[in-house]
Amino acid sequence: MANQTRLREVGIDLAVEFFGSICIAVGIYNFAVHAEFPMTGFSGVAMIVNRLTGFPIGIMTILLNLPVAAVCCRLLGRGFFIKSIRCMVISSVMIDYAAPLFPAFQGDRMLAAICTGVIAGFGYAIIFMRGSSTGGTDFIVMAVKVLRPHMSLGKIVFLADAGVVLAGGILFRDVEGMVYGMIINYLFAVVVDKVAYGIDSGKLALIVTEHGQQVVQEIECCCGRGATILKASGGYTRQDKQVVMCACSNKQMYTVQKQVKAADADSFIIILESNEVLGEGFKGA
């Protein structure tokens, strides 16, 4: 049974790595390369070398990755290291051999920048979510995440890659390309955060009421969500209050609002965005 579970996980990892690598390859080769953007990360460095010498992007990416991988191996662990090396090879092969099979985008540079950021950013995000990476600055990103767990992946990605974009723009004296490169870098960060954290996002309702138990029952009946009753006291009236705390999905929040107002028209509802919800009925249950 344990072996079957392990094989299933490996199979999912490989499927995600192949799909994510195709997204990255298409974003880089079919959009960024032909638009001559200064790209992010080690792919950006490899693209600089490619434009100067014609050396294959995928092979150069592997050569740049090896020393960084060796340094980060101890911090990130052997399992992450092995998965990342595998994914790095897959993504490099996809860039050099699979992406050229697709037509290259020849349209507006802004559209190319948007497509690069969204498509490649999605590929990076799903690979990160499986506990892997494509190497290079991804090793640095994940190492910083281990050392600074409070920082979002998107923010780390943006900071790590900004220098490469600026270097490429200055080297080729392409200010416009550098601006597009920073747009791509920003889109990378946004897409990575939205995919990595947005999938498990929801809303948190804080309901101030004098009929806590009735509100809890209405929430459970309308959407099957549990709730927690907190004891509180009015700051102005000094009267005893109850605060019902309920986490739910974005779709369920409208129903919760409607039912709570039906149960207690005088209730005070505060709705907060929740980046990630863990527990029964949500991720990690």
Q: Where are the domains of the chain?
A: 2-198, 202-274
How would DSSP label each residue in 159-186? HHHHHHHHHHHHHTT-HHHHHHHHHHHH
CB burial of residue 70 (10 Å; 0-12, 13-18, 19+): exposed
**Cα of 101 vs its chain's centroid, Å:** 27
- Dist. CA 255–CA 247, nearest whole Å: 13
How would DSSP label each residue in 41-62? HHHHHHHHHHHHH---HHHHHH
Overall fold of domain 202-274: Alpha-Beta Plaits (3.30.70)
Find, among 25, 16, 188, 20, the residue nearest to 102 by Cα: 25
Find, among 61, 73, 69, the residue nearest to 28 by Cα: 61
- Dist. CA 158–CA 154, nearest whole Å: 6
Q: What is the pLDDT along the chain (285 residues), one digit of tens a residue?
A: 667 778 888 888 899 999 999 999 999 888 887 777 766 667 677 777 777 788 887 778 778 777 776 666 666 777 777 887 788 788 888 988 889 898 888 888 889 989 998 998 899 888 888 878 777 676 677 777 777 776 776 777 777 777 777 776 677 777 787 788 788 888 888 888 778 766 656 788 899 988 888 888 888 888 778 888 888 887 777 788 889 998 887 778 888 888 888 888 888 888 887 766 666 656 544
Q: What is the pTM for the complete model shown?
A: 0.65
